[in-house]
Structure 1
């Protein structure tokens, strides 16, 4: 039997009410410790929606500190060469509101930043986001409407940062997955295309 939750009242009956601190921890500007978090984070995720409400989440990563803090109310996330699908950017052109989450490997807590975004092809801070002499192709500039730290329970439950729990070979390689989806490519061609060495050559 399914028991669907369809109202706020039902939801609150199941999960209860947050305590005062949790309910009021959301701010509209970065604090010093949140700026410091971004300076040490090498990885983030950006969620967007299109005009029909369909959601996309895209990972963003670079050396730690890749997010450029313009001021306490604005950040910029660089974009590097990729597969050219630009799903998230197409969504931002339709609905500018984005949600983002930034992680630090080994830490269970995360930093969440939400707000309206715009896509820039150049700005006076692009040089500051260069890696290996390569400026970003684009930047997603986000106005901070909501910023807050999220607790570590999900990472603690999953043991995500414990190497002894990792088993990446339990699944097929990227090349093998591509082969399952594209029957017209030879195995050797796929292995060459998706080997880490080749992917790293095209990172910037």
Structure 2
């Protein structure tokens, strides 16, 4: 069995990597301006990172029509909670630790948008009404108070060839949800039945 690598002190990491440029430090701001607002308004996908008070971390994908995350004011965002698996991992984390991190993506755009702050849950009817989609109003919204926000350079997306049409072929090489669940269920479930059920039900009931 391979030996587990030892942790590296941060001082050593800084020695190896070097210092950030002045531009990298200056790009961070504490509010949403017109440029950041425009990015969020065109983003259909965001990754939401939270952590429980016991230290357990989680990162959850959220997606909808471009601009589904609303800017309420320069320091506040609102994310709708759409139909999902009801695990409530993000909600349980925020109930114990309000810190949150978001990464927004815009298809075809090489840069991403990073936003960090604190968050809480709300059922404010005025906010929920602004988050309506396909005639459905969400039951809960995540309200985010912005601490810092900035654009992240596109090296990761360029290296990943994320928007390269040829990268779509990779999807044929990874397991489906049905295959993963079936492999852990000792024959109690069929992979094809699970995947077929998702296609006919869950993936058609998005709101």
Task: Give the TM-score band, short-chain normalised.
Answer: over 0.9
CA gap of 1:59–1:191, structure 2 versus 1, over 3 A, is: closer
Q: Distance in 1 between matches of 2:37 and 2:172?
A: 36
Deviation at 1:31, TM superposition (A): 1.1
Q: Which residue of 1 aligns with 2:206?
A: 203
Helix, strand or coil for the counterpart of 1:11? helix
Q: Equivalent residue for 2:123?
A: 121
What TM-score, normalized by structure 1, do the two folds share? 0.93
Q: How does 1:33-182 map to 2 (within 5 A)?
A: 33-166=35-168, 167-182=170-185
Determine the C-alpha separation between the residues in 2 that align with 1:164 and 1:12: 36
Q: What's the CA shift for 1:156?
A: 0.8
CA deviation map 1:74-106 (0-9, x unaligned): 001111111110101100000001000100011
Q: 1:159 to 1:187 in 2, by over 3 A?
A: closer
Q: Distance in 1 between matches of 2:89 and 2:72?
A: 25
Residues 113-161 of structure 1 show CA distances to partners (whole Å, capped at 9, x for unaligned) of 1111010123312112111110112111000110100010101111111
Local SS of the residue matching 1:28: coil
Q: Does the aligned pair in 2 maintain the 1:80–1:136 contact within 8 Å?
A: yes
What is the aligned length?
Answer: 202
1:191 counterpart (188, 191, 195): 195
Q: How high is the TM-score relative to the length of structure 2?
A: 0.91
RMSD: 1.6
